[in-house]
Amino acid sequence: MGCTNSTESAEETVPAAAPAKAAKAAKASTKPTSSSTGSKPAKNKTADGLVEGSSTGKHFNEVYKLGKQLGEGAFSVVKEGQNRQTHDSYAIKIVTKAKLSKEDEIALKDEIDVLKDFDHQHIIRLYDVFEEPQHYYMVTEKMTGGELFDRIVQKSYYNEKEARDTCEILLQAIHYCHKKKVAHRDLKPENLLLTSQSDDSDIKIADFGFAKKVKAPNTLTTQCGTPGYVAAEILEGKPYDTQADMWSIGVIVFILLGGYPPFIEQNQRTLFRKIRKGQYEFHEEYWGQVSEDAKDLIRKLLVVDPAKRYTSEDALENKWIGADAATLASLDLGTNLAALKKFNAKRKFKAAVSTVMAANKMQSLGLDFRKNLD
């Protein structure tokens, strides 16, 4: 599910602003600067409004050396990259301009505009941006630990403390986004990554392709997200804001604790109907041993009315987030871990199919979306 039919792009788009000036950026000798490079560094902006000219005033290939391919999307590839001077390693997202629709390019610039201002331990970093004739090059933090859910299902033992610690990290990261007045709009397991193979707690929120700055409450209108994680108000076609992310967080917390999604149907029409009504349940087989405080957090997040839903600040102050670690560690989630392994296997299969079928990210919602909303 992506973004579909809306005038939001024109009404809400904030032009990508100029990054830190070269003099300031030069102090960071081990990291590239947030900038956009053109062939003439004296120029301030390209025709598209992006700033060109890095601290070096060089082309991408003069600053970075590309390595092996790490991934591929509908109109981009991700390759390993190395700074020629510092030898630091990064992930380089190479976006082909010719494959972008006008809406795609607006979304890309929104993503750049958002990420260039972000500096949080649990949000993927964007270090540099180069705009060149055929491509955009986005220099990002390299994530070598894979997806969070893949790591969890490798465990032989899983308890409520581990689930709580993960949820707290996600809430801290999304709280940072919301304080910056940014809605992510596509929170889901695929976008929760790990920095390394050795540290289970170094989690990062990634893929800000649908992220948007929120100028005022309830001013977003584009229907964005992924079926199963999308907020009720988005399906209803109502103007929304950062609170839509809190619904998605509620779904993720439910899965981390229960091992399966709160809203899961083969028929998308039935799925959307349940989401819009907030119809889910805690099945005794999986939830009988889960603490009431954990279930209370979920109940406060999966609230159809966004005005009554927990904010990120409310969630961080929830009793379960501050609960005693030893007590939570004693609450075994072994049965739920088995369910999570099954769910994750299905999720990975569907993701592989979606990757093959997706032709245009901004149209990935599908032609049948609206007729599934009756």
Residues involved in catalysis: 186
Nearest to 256 by CA among 139, 175, 331, 159: 159
How many C-beta atoms surround the C-beta of residue 80 within 10 A? Answer: 16
Q: Are 246 and 187 in contact (CB under 8 A)?
A: no
Please tell me the distance from the alpha carbon of residue 83 to that of residue 75, in angstroms, as a whole number.
24
Q: Are strands 182-183 and 135-140 parallel, antiparallel or unpaired?
A: unpaired
Instruction: Compute and round to an integer the Cα radius of gyration of the chain.
Output: 21
Query: From residue 199, how far is each of 143, 159, 214, 258 by CA, in Å?
Result: 12, 17, 33, 23
CA angle 266, 267, 268 (to 5 degrees): 110
Is residue 130 within 8 Å of 137, Cβ to Cβ?
A: yes
79 close to 66: Cβ distance less than 8 angstroms: yes
Please report the beta strands in the chain, taking only residues with DSSP state E, as ranges in sequence order: 64-72, 76-83, 89-96, 126-131, 135-140, 182-183, 192-194, 203-205, 212-213
Q: How many residues does the chain have?
A: 374
- Residue 213 tokens read as 């700055």
DSSP state of 255: H
DSSP β-bridge partners for residue 81: 66, 90
How far is the C-alpha of 114 from the C-alpha of 211, rounded, in Å?
Answer: 7
